[in-house]
Amino acid sequence: MKKTIWAGLAATTLIWSAPSEATVVYNYSTTGCFTSTSCTPSSPTASTGGAVRGEGGLNFKGTTATNQSGPSLNLGSMSLQNLLFDDPSATKFDLKVSFTSPGAGSSIFSADLVGLIFFGLGVVEIDFGNAQTISYNGGSFNLAIDDIYLYSLDAKDPITGHVSSNPPPIAAAVPEPSTWALMLLGFSGLSFMTYRRKRAASAMRA
C-alpha cells in the first residue's frame, strides 16, 4: 500500500516539475496550378492541358484539413488522366500550402515535372525540392514535401508533407490518463493514512 502511495506522490511531483509531451495540430488548405512561366495557386483543382480534347495529362486535387496531427500531413493528390500522349516536362507545378493553425502562414513549392505519358501509362516524376520554413506571428516550422512518381492511369498518388519544428510550436501540455490515476491514488492514500492516524489518536485519548 505504501509503495502505491509513494508512486502516486511521485507522479504528482512529476506533473508539476516536468512538461508532458504535447500534440500540435495543423489546420491548412492546399491550392495549385500548372504553368510554363509563373502562376498564382488559387484553385483546389488543376490540370495540364493534355493533347487530346483538352484532357489533362496530370490532375491535381487539393485538400482542406482540420486538426491534423503531425509530423506527416496529407496535402492532396496527383494523378495521370491523359489517354494518349502528353509531355508535362514543359511545365511546372506550383503548390501553395496555407496554414491557419498553429499560426497563419503559407509557402509556395514550385515543382519540376520530368517524364512522359503515353496510352494511359507514364513515368512522371514531380520534384518539390527542399524543405521550406513556414513563418507566422509567434513562431515557425519547416515543411518538406515528398517527391511523387506516377506510373499508371487514374493512380492517385498522395502529396505528403513532413513537419519539423523550428523551434517546436507551443501547445498545452496534457498529462497521460495513467499519470492522473496515479496522482489521484496518491492523494487517496494520503487521505486514508491521515484518517487512520486521527482515529488512532482519538482511541488512545479515550
Q: What is the pLDDT of residue 181?
A: 64
Q: What is the pLDDT of residue 179?
A: 63
Q: What is the pLDDT of residue 93?
A: 92
Q: What is the pLDDT of residue 32?
A: 96
The Cα-based distances of 188 to 2, 35, 82, 165, 182 in angstroms read 12, 67, 69, 40, 10
What angle separates helix 177-205 from helix 2-17, to the nearest 10 degrees?
Answer: 130
Q: What is the DSSP letter of 102?
A: S
pTM for this prediction: 0.68
Tens-place pLDDT, residues 23-43: 789 999 999 999 888 789 999
Tell me if 171 sits within 8 A of 101, measured CB to CB: no
The number of residues making up the chain comes to 206
For the record, the C-alpha cell of 90 comes out as 514543359
Tell me if 95 sits within 8 A of 113, measured CB to CB: no
Count Cα atoms within 13 angstroms, Cβ side, for 49.
8
Residues of the chain with pLDDT under 70: 1-22, 49-56, 82-83, 120, 152-155, 166-206
Tens-place pLDDT, residues 53-92: 556 688 899 999 999 988 999 999 998 876 677 777 778 8
Report the alpha-carbon distance of residue 198 to residue 200 in Å, rounded.
Answer: 5
